[in-house]
Chains A and B, each alone.
Chain A
Amino acid sequence: MDRNELIQQLKEQIIKQLNLADKKPEDIKNDDPLFVEGLGLDSIDALELIVLLQQEYNIKLKNAEEGQTIFRSVSTMADYILEQQAGAAN
């Protein structure tokens, strides 16, 4: 999957996983912060994103703190996933 497709897919998955009923993928900009500002997600949402990574991409985080950099924006999430997938392929 290419990066743009992944980003689009991630936006849909995030909305579903986090019950963001009033949002559409177009509302989420690639580089907007996910936490505090932007989507204003909280710590439980961060944990749900960790579950999302495991469920959809088979990536397991060892501790919650790793999420702070990975989930900065949809772009950073996509980059992380692509990196992990490349690493797994080798």
Chain B
Amino acid sequence: MSSPVFIAGWGVISAIGNNVAENLNALISGTAGIDAMNRLNSVHKGELPVAEVKLTNEALADLAQLPSHISRTALLSTIAAKEALDNSRIDISRWRTGFISANSVGGMDKTEDFFEDFLQNPGAGHLRNVVNHECGAVTEITADALGVKDFVTTISTACSSSANSIFLGARLIRQNQLDVVIAGGTDALTKFTLNGFNTLMILDSQYCQPFDDNRRGLNLGEGAGYVVLVSEKVAATLADTPSVTISGWANANDAHHQTASSPEGKGNLLAMKSALQKAGLQPADIDYINLHGTGTNNNDIAEGTAIKTLFDGNYPPMSSTKSFTGHTLGASGGIEAVFSVLAIQEGVIFPNLRFETPMKELPFQPVTELQKAAIKNVMSNSFGFGGNCSSLVFSKYIAT
């Protein structure tokens, strides 16, 4: 039996709250963070609802204790990663510590503003705004803020990125390469992304309705989510034994299309099945699925079909928390990992907001009201462009 990898801390910032407590309150009270565009200065203001973090860059910089000219992506990342580390109460100077982070936009929020000035006049714009453009640079900023030096890496695999960061961290701990890993991801809303998704015609001009028969598309969001993964040895030194572990994970490629899933969700199915196998669990052991559930025609039918195949008549409660936070892209795996941990800790299943009509192709539907339940095992799905499909399983720790 493989040694358990514990989750000793978690941190999150999203459209529904600036920390774990605020996010949890919103999830429990059914309060979504999707709204008319406010901060982002896009031509689509007034047309496309988004899920923005409700703080300006200045306010984020204060929270992060970083200069306000730093990319929003890095500010969000630092806030959530710090919260995770703080709440783990681990002194990382004692341990081999890694930071594995994911994002899709890097410092694009600053670059796109710089480019506008620069293209008008090559003398305009502050170069310091583009110096942290690459995805890796954003990671370095947070790693430095946390004081992590032993191991730092960046994963960039679209919407499954931060799920991939998390299971990489778990692997490194199981292999005894590291003792503590802060893993997850971040993404800030940018015009670059918004315009791109708009041109793919998968955005909803209303508030999204994941897994609904009349769904129209997704709402983009932003935020960051991290977990602190620790080995058994580290867990034993903590005042309170962590009660949640990451027990399973898997990644597969759908090999179908650059930006769409195969209709049967082949890659999705492979990932979910393998994650269960890794966890040593049967489908019937899953108490809740946190869906990838973006609300697009394509994702929801592919994911739904894969679930139908795998769970075969015995469908667990499921919901998409993107109905609260929007699709946070590179951060989604990390944010939803935190929500999965909360589901286990608090014994709650979060509702799938604004659901009205079940999808005619599926013999099940998501939960629409908050439910209290004893949750032992949660599956969290993250499916990204490029056919990159990941599934994580989190489990309540039962000492043997």
Contact = CB atoms under 8 A, between A and B. Distances in A.
A42 B257 contact: yes
Contacts of A51: 199
B209 to A, nearest CB: 15
Question: Which secondary structure dominates chain B's binding surface?
Answer: loop
B311 to A, nearest CB: 29
Question: Which secondary structure dominates chain A's binding surface?
Answer: helix
B259 A44 contact: yes
Contacts of B246: none
A77 B258 CA distance: 26
A43 B259 CA distance: 9
A42 B259 CA distance: 11
A47 B257 contact: no
B259 A50 contact: no
A47 B260 contact: no
A64 interface: yes
B216 to A, nearest CB: 8
A63 interface: yes
A59 to B, nearest CB: 15
A64 B199 contact: no
B201 A63 contact: yes
A44 B257 CA distance: 10
Contacts of A50: 201
Interface residues of B, number: 7
A64 B203 CA distance: 11
Nearest to B201: A64
Contacts of B257: 42-43
Interface string B175-213: 000000000000000000000000111000000000000
A11 to B, nearest CB: 23
Interface string A43-71: 11001001100000000000110000000
Contacts of B199: 47, 51
B15 to A, nearest CB: 26
A42 B199 CA distance: 15
12 contacts: A42-B257, A43-B257, A43-B260, A44-B258, A44-B259, A47-B199, A47-B200, A47-B201, A50-B201, A51-B199, A63-B201, A64-B201
Interface of A: 42-44, 47, 50-51, 63-64
Interface of B: 199-201, 257-260
Given A43-B260, A44-B259, A51-B199, 9 more contacts: A42-B257, A43-B257, A44-B258, A47-B199, A47-B200, A47-B201, A50-B201, A63-B201, A64-B201
- The 5 A-B residue pairs whose C-beta atoms are closest, nearest first, are A64-B201, A47-B200, A47-B201, A43-B260, A47-B199
